Structure 1
Amino acid sequence: MKASTEPVKVMILDKEYLIACPEDEREGLLRAAGFLNRRMKEIRDSGKVVGADRIAVMAALNISHEMLQLESRHDGVLALVEDRVRTMDQRLAAALNGTVEG
């Protein structure tokens, strides 16, 4: 059964937007809009960027940069875990074959 789509009212930088959203994604949309609103207000309140379009672009760039940094860290941790699992697998195989490494 497909979730019904209802318009959800969000406020971003003191402006109201109606966004079509499936009911089961409503909470996520509200959280995302709240996060974006806070970030845009921080940029606006810093006084370094003027204009809603520029504030939105700066917020998008900052959020994208943070996401890419987290993704890079995630990839590094994943590679480390995969390496450790591979080492454990090799040691287990050696142990099962009776050639335990030291």
Structure 2
Amino acid sequence: MSTALTVTLHILDKEYRVSCPPEERSNLEQAARHLDTTMRDIRNSGKVIGIERIAVMAALNISHDMLTGTRQQDSTLDSQQKHINDLVSRLDQALARHQP
């Protein structure tokens, strides 16, 4: 069983200490970098003022990207499954024609 460690993250010029399992440290740091970049982009656009509003907009943008990606992945998997089913059906038909 792994013991949690404390990781220091820097997001939009603020420091946060977060506890996480050692095997998740890299993922946590990557997520923090992504959040920091997203929040900086929003802040630098000048359209959103206030750290809380920037954080909410970043969360919405990241959530939208995740959901859109998930939907696209689901659609791709559905398409691939239909293609596989079609190929299996064709193989079954071809095999049935060649059996005595």
| TM-score w.r.t. length of structure 2 | 0.94
SS in 1 for 2:55: helix
Residue 72 of structure 2 is matched in structure 1 by 73
Q: Partner letter of residue 22 of structure 1?
A: P
Residues 31-88 of structure 1: per-residue CA shift (max 9 Å, x gap) = 0000100100110111111111110000000111111111111111111100100000
Q: Secondary structure at the match of 2:59?
A: helix
Q: Tell me, yes or no, if structure 1 residue 9 matches structure 2 residue 5.
A: no
Alignment of 1:33-52 (within 5 A): 33-52=32-51
Give the alignment's TM-score, normalised by structure 1.
0.92
Farther-moved stretch of structure 1 (90-99 vs 70-79):
90-99
Which amino acid in structure 2 is aligned with residue 29 of structure 1? L
- The percent of aligned pairs where both chains have the same amino acid is 44
Q: Structure 1: which 5+ runs fail to align?
A: none
Three-state SS of the structure 2 residue aligned to 1:16 is strand
User: What code does the residue aligned with 1:65 have?
Assistant: H
The CA distance in 2 between the partners of 1:50 and 1:19, in whole Å, is: 26
The answer for unaligned runs of 5 or more in structure 2 is: none
What is the aligned length? 98
Tell me the CA shift for residue 98 of structure 1. 1.3
Ranges of 4+ aligned residues in structure 1 off by more than 3 Å: none
Secondary structure at 1:56's aligned position in 2? helix
